[in-house]
Structure 1
Amino acid sequence: MKYIICYDIKENAIRARVVKCLEAWALRIQFSVFSGNFSTAEVRAVQEELLHIIKAADRPLLLIVPVCKACEKSIWMHGQPLEEDVPFLLV
């Protein structure tokens, strides 16, 4: 299933580790937005890895949203994503 993953983390070092983790798993859409296709086990692994990384952060925000096939077809796109081969852009 496709997932959208977003974060808001103010600490530079922790944010850099989150980005490195997400770049290994997913495609970067915008600076704090990623997208990827994951199995249930994979999305749990991503969640666990991110939770481990952010445990020392002050008020971190992580958002992982599943996108069903029907919803994926109705996503509107405008502009260019940061990485190539991304099928949509959140606006």
Structure 2
Amino acid sequence: MYIIISYDIKDNKRRTKIHQILKSYGEWVQYSIFECELTETNYAKLRLRLSKLIKKDDNDNIRFYFMCKCCQGKIERIGGELPRDNTIFFI
């Protein structure tokens, strides 16, 4: 599944921890936004790890946007680095 994850965390230390976790699951595309291609198992693990870090009393929030294959093809970018094609071909 393809998921766009955004977060708004006030505390610098917690925000850094969340950023590091997300880097191990996906591609950092903007300051608080990651794009991730995850299995259901990896998504469950990621969600559990993140839920242990956030402080609801501090108004921390993390949002998960699930993108279908059709919608992935409709993502438009202006500026920034072009997306990388990580497809591996064997000949």
Cα displacement (A) at 1:19: 0.4
Does 2:84 match 1:85? yes
Report the CA distance shift for 1:84/1:76 in structure 2 as closer, same or farther (over 3 A).
closer
Does 2:8 match 1:8? yes
Extract unaligned runs of 5+ from structure 1: 87-91
**Which segments of structure 1 move beyond 3 Å, counting only runs of 4 or more?**
none
Does 2:29 match 1:29? yes
Counting aligned pairs with the same residue, the percent is: 26
Does structure 2 conserve the Cα–Cα contact (< 8 Å) formed by 1:11 and 1:57? no
Number of residues of Structure 1 aligned to a counterpart in Structure 2 = 85
Q: Which residue of 1 aligns with 2:40?
A: 40
CA distance in 2, matches of 1:70, 1:84: 17
TM-score (norm. length: structure 2): 0.84
Extract unaligned runs of 5+ from structure 2: 86-91
Does structure 1 conserve the Cα–Cα contact (< 8 Å) formed by 2:10 and 2:60? yes
TM-score (norm. length: structure 1): 0.84
CA distance in 2, matches of 1:38, 1:9: 23
CA distance in 1, matches of 2:52, 2:79: 33
